[in-house]
Structure 1
């Protein structure tokens, strides 16, 4: 067993989760040869679509993150950061809205008495911490900050940064409001983490009547002894998403739409 660097103080340990945990063998993620479910065939219309990126932050996508020992392999093997840069560039080029649904924890959030396993872990690691909702003191250089590769796209004066989603889905933030106010009813969804916030955003947007495509190589998830979060999410995306695209497919859809 290998202790997670930077998380030893909270007693987290990681062990292999099948082949993927140790060898980056991606065959487990291949689509079935003879699928039983039909493809919905989502056609993108850029005039009513938006790119929604969840948690494009240091504490999920950088080796600086205390969570990197469990998310790093997935982020790396799917080329998540370079693929998100490609999505940002392409979306800006066709003037589609870009909306960020971020994760922030403020000091008062650390006093929650009711928490799930991942919330407990994130609070112990200090992930997404900010000094308060009305200040950016300490934001620069923190784990809550945007990945450096994304700053020029997020801080361009056009990108919408929603209020933070506190757990997994966007029910507690203004994502749906911001999309609706822009006449958006199609969403290209990317970010972190696949089986947590991405899947929760997908499910909520579907329930609100949006058509949603998930970009399968612009998402990633943790690999714990409990399981591979990416694989868990991928199975559900095949069941419920209107589209399950690669970055290349998403870019082609933008150019065609």
Structure 2
């Protein structure tokens, strides 16, 4: 016990007793801190999610309501180079694609749209040999050309296309190759300004778009902005897109912030499928 009355041993005993008390106090302190950390962990984990919607949004909520006959599902770049571990970009997009369950979620959108006989359109990304002769490029254009991303042998040549990086994901081919899905001419940088997507949608009486695909801060955001400027009402599906994570920044985080600011609606796949099913 620490209250010994042996005077000859007071000094040694006092030292040992002090150590014992410090250890006890440290033990209590550690237990208290551990308990507090356990209580705070859920809140901290929630705060740590950089993609979570704001608890108290400042912007007005969406009032977008789908109308049968006016709506299409549009998917950008549902291709192997973006969405498969075999693709040339997987090392930088794979974490985000996996984190959000993008491959499965795009498949759910395709299936839901087909079950309701909605207009479905794909805006693909292809590069032909002549595109590699461009005299100036942005950073990502340089990278895409350097790694052979979306390469095809020519606009009228499908040699080697099947199962190449430019080909569609095998999971989606039953939907895309059904003879009904619109496959637009390729976009070349990010947006649909240079392809026939808008024309195809207008010719089908579409002015509402459910937008998904790859990648969030590049082609998806560029399509969103252009379609909005052309008078379409656009809902983006937040977990049916993903983006690269590089030292320059997290592309998905950059995009999700802009989606909240400018899209007519920002839905999860579950919400989008429910909206489609209600038509």
Same fold by TM-score greater than 0.5: yes
**Residue 238 of structure 1 contacts residue 244 of structure 1 at CA under 8 Å; is this kept in 2?**
yes
Alignment map for 1:27-176 (pairs within 5 Å)? 27-176=49-198
After TM superposition, which residue ranges in structure 1, 4 or more long, deviate above 2 angstroms? Answer: none
Structure 2 counterpart of 1:239, from 261, 267, 274: 261
CA distance in 2, matches of 1:146, 1:240: 29
CA distance in 2, matches of 1:40, 1:243: 5
| Deviations 1:59-107 (CA, angstroms, capped at 9, x unpaired) | 0000001210100000001000101111111000001011000000000
| Deviations 1:97-135 (CA, angstroms, capped at 9, x unpaired) | 110000000000001011000000000100000000011
Larger Cα-atom Rg: 2
Q: What is the TM-score with the length of structure 2 in the denominator?
A: 0.82
**Residue 46 of structure 1 contacts residue 94 of structure 1 at CA under 8 Å; is this kept in 2?**
no
In structure 2, the gaps of 5 or more residues are 1-46
1:209 aligns to what?
Answer: 231
Q: For 1:190, what is the secondary structure of its paired residue?
A: strand
CA distance in 2, matches of 1:197, 1:189: 11
CA distance in 1, matches of 2:48, 2:92: 17
Q: For 1:88, what is the secondary structure of its paired residue?
A: helix
**Residue 188 of structure 1 contacts residue 213 of structure 1 at CA under 8 Å; is this kept in 2?**
yes
Aligned length: 234
Higher relative contact order (CA 8 A, sep 6+): 1
Higher helix share: 2
CA distance in 2, matches of 1:180, 1:189: 16
Q: CA deviation at 1:255?
A: 1.5
In structure 1, the gaps of 5 or more residues are 1-24
Higher strand share: 1
Q: For 1:151, what is the secondary structure of its paired residue?
A: helix
2:17 aligns to what?
Answer: none
Q: CA deviation at 1:26?
A: 7.2
| Deviations 1:181-240 (CA, angstroms, capped at 9, x unpaired) | 000000000000100000000000000000000000000000000000000000000000
RMSD: 1.2
CA distance in 2, matches of 1:196, 1:241: 15
**Residue 106 of structure 1 contacts residue 129 of structure 1 at CA under 8 Å; is this kept in 2?**
yes
